[in-house]
């Protein structure tokens, strides 16, 4: 029985799929299985996956129509998993050789923890971008984890390992609710539900921004950020101190979403109205104030400040 099931959703990733799979084959930790879920690919990705399945390197499942954000494909892969632990990996990103071994070491040392997070790094134009995370490694309680998320996106889809039973108890990723941001919704929901998590500040995965088509699609930014729904669903179960950290985390995501909208010329009235003003940090107030500046002066101001 494998310790970890790696779920790989695939939709038209022929240009990057071979390199991404090779990252998995080169992992130093070997007690894992690969579950690939093709989401209706038409570019040859399915045929490539079928060849890898025939070689005994992965288990392949098929869905006929692609789902927004790949959430349904990930959930389907999780349902087929044989391992106790789940790792999700996008087929257009990269993993370093010790990615799974870091998770396995954490699981062995902290058997009571249900969510392990490894640090990741963004890449663009073949260059690693500077990291902004300043989070201590080790076990973080709920308050510390929410406070960390209020500062930065320290959890990425490729950088988390969650107990399969906990993933299922949380309902999996939100299918058909959001076109983008459903992963943030899920991880924030998990932080609210768990008493503690483990964070390893070793970078073990690379997020290749050049391939992030979902983040460039204008229609994916409609409505407010999905983290608002986490606040509605979870804040009543939290202590006053934890609730403040959750609200600060939601404010950060709402403002980040609003910045993207502003640059695209979309309305941000709904975003500003959803902010929790009592939990605003100084940098949140600065971002909100800047967002009040009319276009095109806003774009000029951002360039000047950079």
pLDDT single digits (tens) 63-97 = 987 777 789 999 999 999 999 999 999 999 999 99
- Domain shared by 101 and 248, yes or no: no
Quick check: 298 pLDDT over 90? no
- Domain shared by 176 and 282, yes or no: no
- Domain shared by 88 and 110, yes or no: yes
pLDDT in tens, 276-293: 999 999 989 988 988 888
The residue among 195, 215, 235 that closes a domain is 215
Domain housing 195:
4-215
If one counts the domains in the chain, the total is 2
- Domain shared by 85 and 209, yes or no: yes
The residue among 215, 243, 259 that closes a domain is 215
- Domain shared by 165 and 106, yes or no: yes
Q: Write down the pTM of the prediction.
A: 0.93
- Domain shared by 42 and 150, yes or no: yes
The residue among 165, 180, 215 that closes a domain is 215
How many percent of the chain have pLDDT more than 90?
Answer: 77
- Domain shared by 264 and 133, yes or no: no
Quick check: 306 pLDDT over 70? no
- Domain shared by 69 and 194, yes or no: yes
- Domain shared by 208 and 237, yes or no: no
- Domain shared by 37 and 176, yes or no: yes
Which of 60-64, 146-150, 212-216 is predicted with the least confidence, judged by mean pLDDT?
212-216
28, 187, 207, 288 from 111: Cα distances, Å: 21, 20, 28, 42
- Domain shared by 207 and 230, yes or no: no
Backbone angles phi, psi at 161, to 5 degrees: -135, 120
Q: Which CATH number is 79's domain given?
A: 3.90.550.10
């Amino acid at each position: 029985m494998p310790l970890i099931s790696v779920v790989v959703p695939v939709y038209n990733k022929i240009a990057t799929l071979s390199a991404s799979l090779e990252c998995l084959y080169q992992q130093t930790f070997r007690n894992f299985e690969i579950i690939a879920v093709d989401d209706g690919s038409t570019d040859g990705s399915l045929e490539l996956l079928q060849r890898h399945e025939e070689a005994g390197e992965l288990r392949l499942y098929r869905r006929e129509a692609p789902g927004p954000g790949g959430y349904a494909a990930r959930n389907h892969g999780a349902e087929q998993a044989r391992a106790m632990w789940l790792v999700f990996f996008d087929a257009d990103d990269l993993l370093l050789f010790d990615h799974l071994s870091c998770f396995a070491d954490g699981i062995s040392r902290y058997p009571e923890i249900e969510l392990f997070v490894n640090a990741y790094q963004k890449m663009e134009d073949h260059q690693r971008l500077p990291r902004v995370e300043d989070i201590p490694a080790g076990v973080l309680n709920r308050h510390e984890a929410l406070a960390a998320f209020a500062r930065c996106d320290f959890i990425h889809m490729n950088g988390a390992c969650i107990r399969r039973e906990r993933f299922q108890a949380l309902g999996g990723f939100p299918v058909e609710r959001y076109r983008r941001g459903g992963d943030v919704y899920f991880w924030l929901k998990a932080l609210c539900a768990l008493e503690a998590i483990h964070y390893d500040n070793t970078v073990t995965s690379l997020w290749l921004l050049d391939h992030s088509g979902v983040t460039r699609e204008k229609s994916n930014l409609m409505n407010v950020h999905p983290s608002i729904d986490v606040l509605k669903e979870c804040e009543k179960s939290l202590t006053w101190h934890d609730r403040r950290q959750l609200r600060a985390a939601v404010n950060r995501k709402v403002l980040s979403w609003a910045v993207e909208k502003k640059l695209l010329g979309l309305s941000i009235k709904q975003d500003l109205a959803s902010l929790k003003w009592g939990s605003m940090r100084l940098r949140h107030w600065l971002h909100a104030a800047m967002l009040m500046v009319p276009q095109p002066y806003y774009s000029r101001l951002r360039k000047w400040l950079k």
